[in-house]
Amino acid sequence: MIVCVCRRVSDREIARHARAGMGFDEIQFELGVATQCGRCEGCARDVVAQCQSSHPVAALHNTAVCTPSACACAG
């Protein structure tokens, strides 16, 4: 699902970066998510938090995609 419409950033892209050990600020800088209108910031932060809590450092190279089960900005 597209999280950031302005920059066309998907939850999968955010999740991939979060699983690689990047925090929200680093992901924001790298992908540009939540840098224009800002409406996606909460959802993007939720994706990062979910990935970081469900995939410990030992599992960073896991190929499974974590996606938010319910995101306030999805609709």
- Residue 49 in domain: yes
In a domain, 41, yes or no: yes
The domain that holds 10 is classified in CATH as: 1.10.10.1100
Residue 38 or 53, more confident: 38
Residue 34 lies in a domain: yes
Q: How many domains does the chain have?
A: 1
Can you read off the two tokens belonging to residue 64? Answer: 């499974």
Of the two residues 69 and 31, the one the predictor is more confident about is: 31
Angstrom distance (rounded) from CA 14 to CA 20: 10
Per the listing, tokens 């998907």 go with 10
| pLDDT tens per residue across span 52-68 | 876 555 444 443 444 44
Parallel, antiparallel or unpaired: strands 2-4 and 9-10: antiparallel
Q: Which helix (H) or strand (E) holds 2?
A: strand 2-4
**Considering the chain, what is the average pLDDT of its residues?**
81
The boundaries of the domain holding residue 38 are 2-59
- What is the model's pTM? 0.71
65 vs 22, more confident: 22
